[in-house]
Structure 1
Amino acid sequence: MHTVELERLKARKGARKRSEIPNEVLSALNQGKIETVNLVEWLAIDMPFLLRNSLTEIGWEEQIDHLYDQSLKLQDQGITKRLKGIGTILFQALEEEENRTEIFERLASHTSDMVRAWAAFSIAADETLSLPERLEIMRRFATDGSFSVRECAWDALRSYLVDDLAYSFELLTEWVKDEDPNIRRCAVEATRPRGVWCKHIPTLKKNPDPGLTILEFVRSDPSNYVQRSVGNWLNDASKSTPDWVINTCLRWRKESPTKETSWIIKHALRTLKKHNTLSQKLQLIAIN
């Protein structure tokens, strides 16, 4: 595929349905020549086919047949389990390689965002890493240009953060102070009490107070990307500890009377407002 043609495909608008994805786009995605531009494309990728093509491209031919066969066994799984499954088999194969660092780098910097996501999940499969080491490696994925890879980054961290929340929040304090909004957002998103497509964190559903260790630093964040995540964190908590969220929002409103904090509060209280849980006074706070 010529460079000019690839550039044309990169400038495309994503299809709304899988059936609307042009054949040339789907082919380029499965060959690892271009990134996805939306979830529709992400879900349409033939993972075993992409795996075979990407391993050929990076020169890891000796593992192609084995890893391809292993990936086929994951085909009846959901999208997230397949992503994590391929990350795991890649990690296992890398463990046997002398030049594992070089091969990992090729995967982690691949043109395909899905291949980079596999690389992120290969780190999740490595249980020997300390939490500081894990966070350091995951920074590159948390700041990736692809939203999908950034989502995989926090998911790859989440189970390890849950193991010791107090220590995790201590380490993540540096992340919420980082100048990159992607890093700040990852710290918040990775610790949401409920999350979107991941296991809940029962401890934080019961008592979200430890989350303030990082949330206080981003209660008036200038980035809407981060604001939305903070609001979602509090909205998660509101479903099991509404009084805690209401009190936190009241305090923030008083201590941080900024438009950024106001937006976060409105976003945080949306479920309580929807279910008429808020008093008239708090409803005004939620919309002003």
Structure 2
Amino acid sequence: MKPPASRKGATRTTDIPPQVLEALSIGDLSTATLAEGLAIDQARLLRTVFPDLSKRALGKVEAACRLGILKRMTGIGALLLEDLGTPGIDRCRKHGADTVRGWACFMIGAQPALSLADRLAAIRPLADDAHFGVREWAWLAVRPHLARELDAAIGHLAGWTTSPSERLRRFASEVLRPRGVWCAHIPALKQQPQRALTLLASLRADSSVYVQDSVANWLNDAAKDQPDWVRQICAQWLRDCQDSSTRRICQRGTRSLP
């Protein structure tokens, strides 16, 4: 399994060399760019990784692969959970291909009876994955569950904001962005962004640019619905903290405000 850094990945699906697409679609290569992730033949990848899947599951795969990328990942995660059960999560999580580990995220998201604490514990190693794509799938897969138990989720994620891992600290911010990317909005946070203030305040001077960008994007999301609140919070943070990280977050977080 070659790491993404071993080549310059294509930024457009039409620019992916056939031999690279072939390797991606049989799980022999990790994606280096979003374009590569979108171009993978996931039906072929699934048949390669799990040749023992039932015919019923394989039929569902073909239907899922005709959907957009998020619905595709969600559908494959659900059918894998149905066909392989929870042991399949570990099989996916240990695979070298990032898309397969992404399926593990959506299998965790598809489990109906998990408590919020157990779901977060299950997704944690994938939220801390070395591959950028897996980390994105991790928050997308569990976000609907966290949005439904918003205050409890914020309470659990507060502990993640002090993690030594910048990836987990970023997850604590990114997973509950009011608007986000490729996901449904969270109306409660669009109307009352202050409900997540404990998370944001804990990350307001984070030294990691990766985390800073997420917090700034969170504020930028909130500014579209509650601009005065964002102005007030940033003014308060800048009064209380002269850290360059805080200044960067506030500058980027208010970039859409007049």
- Structure 1 partner of 2:224: 239
What are the superposed Cα offsets for residues 74-113 of structure 1, whole Å, 9 maximum, x if unpaired? 2331111001100000111123xxxx42x43221111111
Residue 271 of structure 1: SS of its match in structure 2? Answer: coil
Deviation at 1:165, TM superposition (A): 1.4
- Report the Cα distance in structure 1 between the residues aligned to 2:5 and 2:57, rounded to whole angstroms: 28
Instruction: Summarize the Cα distance change of 1:7–1:227 in structure 2 as closer, same or farther, 3 Å threshold.
Output: closer
Segments of 5+ residues of structure 2 without an aligned counterpart are none
Deviation at 1:10, TM superposition (A): 6.4
- Report the Cα distance in structure 1 between the residues aligned to 2:3 and 2:84, rounded to whole angstroms: 35
What are the superposed Cα offsets for residues 194-250 of structure 1, whole Å, 9 maximum, x if unpaired? 001100000110110011011111000010000000000000000000000000000
Letter in 1 for 2:19: E
Letter in 2 for 1:227: Q
> Which is higher, the Rg of structure 1 or of structure 2?
1
Letter in 1 for 2:25: N
Superposed, 1:16-95 pairs within 5 Å as 16-56=11-51, 61=52, 63-95=53-85
CA contact (8 A) 2:106 2:137 kept: yes
Residue 102 of structure 2: SS of its match in structure 1? Answer: helix
- Structure 2 partner of 1:189: 174
CA contact (8 A) 1:173 1:213 kept: yes
Residue 29 of structure 2: SS of its match in structure 1? Answer: coil
- Structure 1 partner of 2:252: 267
- Structure 2 partner of 1:152: 137
- Report the Cα distance in structure 2 between the residues aligned to 1:104 and 1:155, rounded to whole angstroms: 16
- Structure 1 partner of 2:238: 253
Query: Which residue of 128, 146, 149 maps to 1:143?
Result: 128
1:120 aligns with 2:120: no
TM-score, normalised to structure 1's length?
0.86
Letter in 1 for 2:144: S
- Structure 2 partner of 1:167: 152
Could you say what the CA RMSD is over the residues aligned between the two structures, in angstroms? 1.5
CA contact (8 A) 2:3 2:29 kept: no
Deviation at 1:8, TM superposition (A): 9.3
Letter in 1 for 2:64: L
- Structure 2 partner of 1:204: 189
- Report the Cα distance in structure 2 between the residues aligned to 1:107 and 1:40, rounded to whole angstroms: 22
Q: How many residues align?
A: 258
- Report the Cα distance in structure 2 between the residues aligned to 1:221 and 1:7, rounded to whole angstroms: 32
What are the superposed Cα offsets for residues 15-38 of structure 1, whole Å, 9 maximum, x if unpaired? 132232112111110110111000
- Report the Cα distance in structure 1 between the residues aligned to 2:120 and 2:89, rounded to whole angstroms: 17
- Structure 1 partner of 2:208: 223
- Report the Cα distance in structure 2 between the residues aligned to 1:145 and 1:227, rounded to whole angstroms: 19
Deviation at 1:64, TM superposition (A): 4.8
**Percent of counterpart pairs with the same letter?**
41
Instruction: Summarize the Cα distance change of 1:19–1:88 in structure 2 as closer, same or farther, 3 Å threshold.
Output: same
Letter in 2 for 1:82: R
- Report the Cα distance in structure 1 between the residues aligned to 2:156 and 2:65, rounded to whole angstroms: 37
Segments of 5+ residues of structure 1 without an aligned counterpart are 1-5, 278-288
CA contact (8 A) 1:29 1:45 kept: yes
- Report the Cα distance in structure 2 between the residues aligned to 1:19 and 1:229, rounded to whole angstroms: 30
Letter in 2 for 1:265: C
TM-score, normalised to structure 2's length?
0.96
- Report the Cα distance in structure 1 between the residues aligned to 2:22 and 2:91, rounded to whole angstroms: 21
